[in-house]
Structure 1
Amino acid sequence: MKSPIDIAIANFVDHCQAIPSSLGSPGSQTTAFSTNQHTLNIPYPNGITIGQTDNQDSQMSQIRQMIAGRPSGAVTSMVDSFSSLDLTPLGFHTLFDTPWTFRQAAPVESLPIRQPQFRIETVNTPAQLQEFDRAAAAGFGQPDDDTVYSTPLLTDPRYDFYFIRQSNKIAAGVQTFTNNESIGVYTLFTLPEHRRKGFAKSLVNHVLSLTPDLPAVTNPSEDSDHLFRNAGFSHIGTRTIWLHVPS
């Protein structure tokens, strides 16, 4: 039986392969390492370690191969899933650490939004997905001129996108990735002017209520950590984000 952190990593790896693949850049995976050589301007890593420390030699070898295969001048991002590697000798520097969090499968009631005039909607069309993409970029303070969530994801049964509108514009949203083992809760955002209204809490409870028989995983930010803890998530490990910028 897989451990909670192995379940969380497996969901994250599959999700991080699916996004660039939908944009035309398929990747590859071994038991120790997942890699995607994309040069897309998307916040998804080029490499992710899989498995415990007995795979370190194999992981370091595959990271070297990944770097050697990168286009000239390409920035490379890495997720060390167990914060156990030192990639400094390979020219990487650390960006930050974030937790892996896990919630056991359990029923949860969908939480009504404080303002009854608002409701949770599902992305169903390319236009809605494009709007979600741009709203998510704004929610995370990123440029909105690069596509992250592309139309092929609408026909991928593992993905769902939910949002709340205010003043006819998306005010908050969340994206999920579901496999046979877990539901990953990702891209939870609320635009600055719509925060402190309970939108994010309602969205998280909504997606958890749809899959009561599956555990849930996520990588919360400092701002969202308390929200996920209140929803029943607990920290199960730490990952380190590394960046390699050619000189």
Structure 2
Amino acid sequence: MRGEARAAVRNNAEWCDALCRSHGLPGGTFGARVWTHPVRTPPYYPDAVTLDPDATADEVLAGVDRSAPGCSVKDSFGTLDLTPYGFRPLFTASWLHRPAGPPQPGPVGARWREVRTPGELAAWERAWNGGAPAGLFRPALLADPATTVLAGHDPDGGGVMAGAVVSEAAGVLGVSNLFGPAGSRTGCLAALADRRPELPVVGYEHGEDLADALHHGFTAVGPLRIWAAP
């Protein structure tokens, strides 16, 4: 397995752990081959992330709470079969890696800057969630030195029109929760190149978002699968 994929996996697990801690939950457990969380994690976030392709189903499921509905597992290397345990595959995706450096020039769009206050974060989340509050991104994230929330502001009206969460871990910048109009990925990458030009960028995507990422200089470096239980 390529080192780029392992860096993306570890970065993502660190971000999942940070998101859980921002909700006042305990930190998860980083084992040799899997990260697990002992209680149900916030919506859209897994209860376990495999860190090694040789992780077994028993290792994964021993560290999660299966008594409540909604348990999910990020099978980071697409090597598990959790069907016998009542899980079903939710979707597959590809890990992505992009070398350090600015993107190709694109059309002028949003003006990107860091979210620094709870009020700015609330406005960012409403834009991310189609105008409604979600309660997923908590102010505690703003105090996490490894997490940066970026907002792309409308150059005419100043409101949030795009955004992303950036997690620095495993020697890379992980981009997640990217949203906005066409061209937002270019703006996000330019903002990252301004702030940490020496670090590669990773993440994962599927469908049209995967095609867009590949168009912006990312390379697919490995598969992943999300499993969910009723």
Residues 1:145 and 1:163: Cα distance change in structure 2 (over 3 Å) = closer
Structure 1 pair 74–51 and aligned structure 2 pair: CA distance change class (3 A)? same
Q: Which residue of 1 aligns with 2:115?
A: 123
CA distance in 1, matches of 2:220, 2:187: 21
Q: Aligned AA for 1:77?
A: S
Q: Which residue number in structure 1 is paired with residue 129 of structure 2?
A: 137
User: What residue number does 2:62 align with?
Assistant: 65
Report whether the alignment pairs 1:244 with 2:199: no
Distance 1:40 1:64 in 2: 14
1:152-167 mapped onto 2 (5 Å cutoff)? 152-166=140-154, 167=157
CA distance in 2, matches of 1:121, 1:84: 39
From 90, 108, 116, the equivalent of 1:114 is 108
Structural RMSD (CA)? 2.2
**Does the Cα contact within 8 Å between 2:92 and 2:206 map onto a contact in 1?**
no
Q: Which residue of structure 1 lines up, in the alignment, with residue 75 of structure 2?
A: 80
Deviation at 1:207? Answer: 1.6
Deviations 1:95-143 (A, max 9, x none): 11000011123x326857525xx5222211110011112221228xxxx
2:178 is matched with 188
User: How many Å separate the matches in 1 of 2:170 and 2:36?
Assistant: 22
Are residues 50 and 180 of structure 1, via their aligned partners in 2, closer, same or farther at CA, if it must alter by over 3 Å? closer
Give the partner amino acid of 2:139: T
Offset, 1:21: 1.0
* Change in CA separation of 1:5 and 1:199 when aligned onto 2, cut-off 3 Å: closer
Give the TM-score, by structure 1 length. 0.83
User: Aligned residues, how many?
Assistant: 226
**Runs of at least 4 residues of structure 1 off by over 6 A?**
none
- Partner of 2:198: helix, strand, or coil? coil
Give the C-alpha shift of residue 240 in structure 1. 0.4
Distance change (3 Å), C-alpha of 1:11 and 1:180 = closer
Give the Cα–Cα distance (whole angstroms) in 2 for the partners of residues 171 and 65 of structure 1.
42
Contact conserved, 1:52 with 1:82, CA < 8 A, in 2?
A: yes
SS in 2 for 1:42: coil
Specify which of 191, 197, 205 is matched with residue 190 of structure 2.
205
CA distance in 1, matches of 2:85, 2:215: 39
8 Å contact kept, 1:164–1:170? yes
| Deviations, residues 182-235 of structure 1 (Å, cap 9, x unaligned) | 000111101xxxx34x33322223223422211211112322223322332100
Structure 1 residues 208 and 226 mapped into 2: Cα distance closer, same or farther (>3 Å)?
Answer: farther
Pair 1:97-2:92 in alignment: yes
Q: Structure 1 regions of 5+ residues with no counterpart?
A: none
The verdict on how the C-alpha distance between 1:225 and 1:187 changes in structure 2, with shifts beyond 3 A counting, is: same
Task: Give CA deviations for 1:140-162 in whole Å, capped at 9, x if unaligned.
Answer: xxxx4432211111111111122
> Which blocks of at least 5 consecutive residues in structure 2 are unaligned?
none
Distance in 2 (alpha carbons) for counterparts of 1:109 and 1:101 = 15
- CA offset at residue 81 of structure 1? 0.7
User: 1:64 & 1:243 partners in 2: Cα distance?
Assistant: 12
- In 1, Cα distance between equivalents of 2:61 and 2:175: 31
